[in-house]
Structure formats: C-alpha cells, structure tokens
Amino acid sequence: MTETVLGGTPALAPLLARGALRSPFKRPAAAASYPRTRLVLPAVRADLGRLAAYERVCGFGTGEDGLPVTYPHVLGFPLAIRLMSERDFPLPLLGLVHTHLDISRYAVMPADTAYELSVRVAGLRPHRRGTEAVVVTEVRDGQDLVWESRSRYLARHRTTGTAGTARPEERAPLPAVAEWRIAADVGRRYAAASGDRNPIHLHPLTARLFGFPRAVAHGMWTAARCLAAHGVPERAHVEAEFRAPVLLPATVAYAARAGRFELRGPADRVHVTGGVRPLPG
C-alpha cells in the first residue's frame, strides 16, 4: 500500500462532482480491484466554530474538553470521498449507502490538538444486495492511536447466488426513552456543520431526483444524536447499523437499555440500531 501525504483537507464539492460524473462508468463487484493508497493529513485541527455547530445540531454538550465520539468521522470524510471518487475505486459514488459504523476511542481527544489522520480502503465484500467497501479511518496523537473507525458503504446491484452479508439479526424492541420531533431543516444544519452536502439531505426537490419523496436525515446525524443521548465512556467501542432512512420532518422514538440503543419510526420501523461498551484500560 502506498502513502500519500496531503497538504490540507480536500474540498468536498469538486470531489462529489467528480465522483458523480464517474459513477455511470463503474462496474461494482466484490472481486474488483480498489485503491491501495493511504491518505494522510499530518496535522489536522477541528474548526472550533464548526465543531460548536456540530455539537448543537447533534445534541452533544457544547464546550466540552474532548471531541464528540463521532466527530473524527467528519474530519476524515473528505479523505474517504477523495478515495471513493477516484477512477480506480470500483463502486459508483452516486447512490452509495452508509450501512454500518464501528468506532473505537482509546482516549479523550482535546478539541484544540492537532492530530494525524489517515484513511484507506481496507477491502470489498459481497452483500446480499450488492457490494460493500470497507473504509478505515485512524487518528493519532503523536505515535498513539487514539481513535479508529470502520465504515461500510454499499453499492446496490444485481447479485448472483446468496453469498454475502446476512440479514440483520432481529431483536425484541428496546423500551422507548424519548420521542424526538426532527425538523425539516436538520439535513441542511448538519451539512453546514459537517460539510456533507449530499443533495438527498438538503431539500425535498433535490431528494426526489434520487428517488426519495422528502429529504433524508444523514445517517451519521442519526448515530451521533443517539450517542449524544446515550452517553459514551472515555474509552469505548461504538457500533451503529443504518437500517432505514429517516424522511424529514419526522417523529421518532429513541429507545435504549443497558448498552444498546435504537431509533424507531411509525409501526416500530427501525432506522438505526447500535451499542456502546467500555474498553478496558
């Protein structure tokens, strides 16, 4: 694997445009080749203004010493999009769906510290509905690994046979803790704070171009909102599975018990399910 050190955070808008233009020419398959490049930002800092906006829209307490557990994903997202918009990435960026997230945080991450951040594609895997790419993000404070994540992104296409990811395990519904009314503009507010301006999240008109009747909440917003409500220890492993989109505006139930949480819509339709467990040490 080669390593490319970047001089700054890539601009998302041209990357998204490039990925959209290349999408019709992609031929997704689990056996396809993929970029073997590790992108590195050697000294990235959180913009404190955007961080405060992110904390407000996701429900985290503002002014905390450490970054919210999901915020390094925001810092690494432009690098992931750069990799996924490259010519040698086999999945089309348009229509790519974030299906699963795993995060391990090993230490509190002060908001005013410069970190080394790296992103790479770890591989492709078959899914019952297509092909998933696994994207790994790592954050280091000096030589110490303080945060890492694995995200799975699904490109839907026809498959042969039944190989691939099994259907999600069905669990008994967790007890509802709160009812949340999610405003129609939460996609735009999260986009302003995170930089993720995918058109399906911004307005009903642009969402309809991609087959959605209304704008859709960012999956990472739903996970962050649940984790802000649940609470996360300093050293923790977090997972979230994105099961169904949240159409905006919406009224949803936040449910939790012990280390598990979920977000449910009408008729107990599960949008997000996940868990939090402390790490030893």
SS (HEC) of the chain: CEEEECCCCCCHHHHHHHHHHHHHHCCCCCCCCCCCEEEEEEEECCCHHHHHHHHHHHCCCCCCCECCCCHHHHHHHHHHHHHHCCCCCCCCCCCCEEEEEEEEECCCCECCCCEEEEEEEEEEEEECCEEEEEEEEEEEECCEEEEEEEEEEEEECCCCCCCCECCCCCCCCCCEEEEEEECCCHHHHHHHHHCCCCHHHCCHHHHHCCCCCCCECCHHHHHHHHHHHHCCCCCEEEEEEECCCCECCEEEEEEEECCEEEEECHHHCEEEEEEEEECCC
Q: pLDDT, tens digit, for every residue of 153-172?
A: 999 888 875 555 555 566 78
Predicted pLDDT at 162? 55
Identify the pLDDT of residue 210: 79
Low-confidence stretches of the chain (pLDDT < 70) are 161-170
Its pTM stands at: 0.93
